């Protein structure tokens, strides 16, 4: 069953997601300038945002009379699994990003592959399905740890993707600077 909005319509939730995905795919279908000196910004922002989200969730849990964020083996294991799964998906997605270098100016450009966007869409569908399943109470005590693992999965995805693109772009710049033929 698809997720529903407050008014009960699944379309009110799915249509904005579909529109956002279409905009992202169209935006990423053209080549854009790649600035490797700024590639650290997105990982820092995502780590900070996820950290704040987890901290706020813990504070809200304490306010409701809960224990806050508990460092249990279950939580730690799921978070580690989430980061690893995200890193693998980020690396895989980055491998489908086309990076080119202008031989004269050494300016880098990148173009995201539609296949990479399918990965993001797949993650979005899985997260939505898990959230829908969890809100029905079916996950019980696993709901919060699974939700946290899905959040930290995005940290692994963004960091690994940026690192892989940085490594490949840097290699192209080094080859171009050494007189080698860029690949």
pLDDT (average), residues 139-161: 82
In whole angstroms, how far apart are CA 80 and each of 110, 133, 151? 30, 22, 11
CA 48 to chain centre: 14
Predicted local confidence at residue 5, as pLDDT: 47
The pTM (predicted TM-score) of the whole model is 0.73
- Half-sphere exposure of residue 74: CA atoms within 13 angstroms, side-chain side: 9
**Dihedral pair phi/psi, residue 104, rounded to 5°:** -85, -45
**Residue with token string 């806050």:** 68
DSSP summary character for residue 137? T
Q: Please state, in angstroms and rounded to a whole number, the distance separating the CA atoms of residues 139 and 118.
A: 27
Contact 79, 147 (CB under 8 A): no
Sign (positive or negative) of CA dihedral 23, 85, 87, 145: positive
Average pLDDT, the chain: 79
- Tens-place pLDDT, residues 51-84: 888 787 777 766 766 655 666 788 889 889 999 9
Q: Please state, in angstroms and rounded to a whole number, the distance separating the CA atoms of residues 80 and 72.
A: 12
């Amino acid at each position: 069953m698809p997720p529903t909005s407050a008014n009960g319509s699944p379309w009110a939730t799915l249509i904005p997601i579909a529109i956002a995905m279409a905009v992202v795919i169209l935006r990423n279908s053209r080549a854009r300038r790649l600035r490797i000196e700024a590639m650290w910004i997105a990982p820092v922002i995502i780590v900070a945002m996820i950290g704040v989200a987890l901290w706020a969730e813990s504070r809200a849990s304490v306010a409701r009379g809960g224990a806050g964020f508990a460092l249990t083996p279950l939580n730690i294991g799921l978070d580690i699994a989430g980061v690893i799964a995200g890193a693998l998906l980020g690396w895989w997605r980055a491998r489908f990003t086309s990076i080119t270098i202008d031989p004269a100016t050494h300016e880098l450009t990148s173009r995201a592959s539609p296949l990479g966007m399918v990965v993001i869409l797949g993650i979005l569908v899985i997260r939505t399905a898990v959230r829908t399943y969890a809100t029905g109470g079916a996950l019980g005590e696993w709901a919060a740890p699974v939700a946290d693992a899905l959040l930290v999965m995005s940290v692994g995805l963004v960091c690994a993707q940026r690192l892989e693109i940085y490594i490949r772009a840097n290699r192209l710049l080094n080859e171009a600077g050494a007189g080698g033929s860029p690949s």
